[in-house]
Structure 1
């Protein structure tokens, strides 16, 4: 018998960036994400207007800004010119595809932040995010033939949809229930535990993305 699922999380107020469907929020569910070769991340060379800057803390008001990419991200993209990124929003804890990096700044603590524009969203949803904690290479949708590569303990990006939102969150595989594949592909079930709220859910492979292998 598989482990029982926890009660669903309490519905949250819908974020202005969160849509009811993955097509609307700029991230398609894994089964629908194009498997074509990714295009290079677009970089803006224009600095942001001062009125667009969101200051989350009074200590950030004097943080200098620069347009373009910080050195840490330039080093990553120099090795793979077609590398694409995703960023974790501080508003809902979900990961969104990055359309472009607009500017960067160094905080008084020495931490580096970048201002990102999310794929499929306008300037009103631009956000400052921490480079080390909230920017990474884009996750990759899992193919039916890759289900054997997924094991308990693995970190995955899982598509989650409820009455309030349809977004992607980090989760860890708790248990795998192997099943025979059919013409529809993988029929295995994966019990995942979401990192942000520790709730659990059984999902099919089409809702999972893996982290890139290095």
Structure 2
């Protein structure tokens, strides 16, 4: 299981050296359905998802020959990726509105140092006067993912991240998904052509009448009479 993201400390500590470069995307893990920073590569035809600051045994793999049975499976994987969600800035808390999609830190096991991130929808905002560097507003949110899905919570800006609306742009991921989409489209076209050959279009009523009329006019094979 990938490591949870840690809440920012008041006094910044020296971060451990990252195993990989800082990601530009997030991925919803199959292990716990939480969002993590990640990047992808294709190895031997498989898609490998590598988590930020996690060891290799946490990586998740997708086999194009076994893990996808339809275009729906391809789109389901596409939905697991998105651009990185930036923290809500103290000076821009007024930009969020009810109905906005947010990503929030969720304290699951009572350990405030280890948090998992899940999506929620903003319900209401209690505005409070504050300066540029200090926001005291309170955000009522309804969780849409995670162990508190469907529940309402009131949180502060320190756990709020904004979900970007623009789609993820990653050439490795796009090529992998596009190849799968093309493969299923070609398979569908082949299946449709085979079905049409096996089940030709039935004759119209006019065509059927013409065939019957020609049979009536044909000579009797046994008597030679019309």
Same fold? TM cut 0.5: yes
> Where on the TM-score scale, by shorter chain, does this alignment land: which range?
0.5 to 0.7
Count of paired positions: 140
Gaps of 5+ in 2: 13-19, 63-75, 167-226
Q: Is the 8 A contact 1:156 1:170 kept in 2?
A: yes
Which residue is 1:85 aligned to?
25
Map of 1:60-139 to 2, 5 A cutoff? 84-98=24-38, 100-103=39-42, 114-128=47-61, 131-139=77-85
Which residue is 1:205 aligned to?
157
Q: Does 1:167 align with 2:107?
A: no
CA distance in 1, matches of 2:104, 2:117: 5
Gaps of 5+ in 1: 1-15, 34-40, 43-81, 107-112
> Structure 1 residues 91, 30: closer, same or farther in 2, change over 3 A?
farther
> Structure 1 residues 30, 95: closer, same or farther in 2, change over 3 A?
farther
Map of 1:33-48 to 2, 5 A cutoff? none
Q: Is the 8 A contact 1:158 1:171 kept in 2?
A: yes
Q: Is the 8 A contact 2:105 2:115 kept in 1?
A: yes
Q: Is the 8 A contact 2:23 2:37 kept in 1?
A: no
Q: Is the 8 A contact 1:192 1:200 kept in 2?
A: yes
Q: Is the 8 A contact 2:24 2:84 kept in 1?
A: yes
> Structure 1 residues 150, 104: closer, same or farther in 2, change over 3 A?
farther
Higher helix share: 2
Offset, 1:213: 5.3
Map of 1:146-185 to 2, 5 A cutoff? 146-163=92-109, 166-182=115-131, 185=134
Offset, 1:188: 0.5
The structure whose Rg is larger is: 2
Which residue is 1:142 aligned to?
88
Q: Is the 8 A contact 2:102 2:161 kept in 1?
A: yes
CA distance in 1, matches of 2:86, 2:9: 8
Q: Deviations over 1:161-201 (max 9, x none)?
A: 13266211011001111111158611000011111221221
CA distance in 2, matches of 1:212, 1:146: 15
Higher relative contact order (CA 8 A, sep 6+): 1
> Structure 1 residues 30, 163: closer, same or farther in 2, change over 3 A?
same
The alignment yields a C-alpha RMSD, in angstroms, of 3.2
Offset, 1:104: 7.0
